[in-house]
Amino acid sequence: MTEPDHVSAARAVYDATAEQYARSVGIDVSPAFEGPVDRAFLAAFVEFVGLAAGLVADIGCGPGRVAAWLTAHGLDVVGVDVSQAMLTVARGAHPDIRFEEGCLSALPFADGSLIGAVCWYSIIHTPPEHLREVFSELHRVLSGGGHLLVAFQAGESEAVRRTDAYGTGYSLTHIRHCPEVVARSLIEAGLKPHAQAVREPELDHESTPQAFIIARNVEPGR
């Protein structure tokens, strides 16, 4: 199957910048990159999922920051990323956590095998017309009643294209997703949003509002 251009572009950029990225943002969740609202949604996700036996995936895990946070809060976590270089960094930083290669539209999990999943800024390179495909794949791997947390930069679905992303010489497009479009795509995929927030930019690296949605799989076995 031919890989979508936006997936190939993200892999190329993050393969080239994995170590630089980890030095820039760190290998753990921190107040410098996650504000109080952000951390509150992570904490709420942990409570929704609970501490029952089951696997939770940090999808688009990068250097494993959120995977480590979820693990520290008692969850059984696997990290997934499209970039082998990012996975190498994540494995070195968090040797007690399992990491696997995969992309949002082709996850390495059996049907209904996850009790929860987090996409922490991992849809920011996904064009709006591909969101339903991504969320349908997440619906496939989530168990009935399983929860999904999505975080992303909010806007009006505008695309910001960088022709020399992070000095790599590769182009990469960032999408500032419309929260209503994301919520509608979740619903169409069988995932019902039940907690949402948009906050204004407040951290040093932010220039746009940030959005958070927790959704629940309400159509198991589809």
Q: What is the pLDDT of residues 34-60, one digit of tens each?
A: 999 999 999 999 999 987 779 999 999
Average pLDDT over residues 193-215: 96
Number of domains in the chain: 1
Q: What is the pLDDT of residue 51?
A: 73
Q: What is the pLDDT of residue 189?
A: 97
Residue 222 resides in a domain: no
Confidence of residue 1 (pLDDT cuts 50, 70, 90): low
Average pLDDT over residues 98-109: 96
CATH number of the domain encompassing residue 43: 3.40.50.150
Q: What rounded mean pLDDT belongs to the chain? A: 95
Model-level pTM? 0.95
Q: Is the pLDDT of residue 222 over 50?
A: no
Residue 211 resides in a domain: yes
Residue 36 resides in a domain: yes
**Rounded Cα gap, residues 111 and 88, in angstroms:** 27
* Residues 219 and 139 sit within 8 Å (Cβ to Cβ): yes
Residue 212 resides in a domain: yes
Residue 179 resides in a domain: yes
pLDDT digits (tens, 9 = 90+) for 75-97: 999 999 999 999 999 999 999 99
Containing structural domain, residue 95? 5-217
Exposed / middle / buried, residue 164 (Cβ in 10 Å: 0-12, 13-18, 19+): exposed
Residue 78 resides in a domain: yes
Residue 134 resides in a domain: yes
Backbone φ and ψ of 75, nearest 5°: -95, 155
Q: What is the pLDDT of residue 195?
A: 96
In 60-156, where do the E strands start and end? 76-81, 98-101, 114-120, 142-153
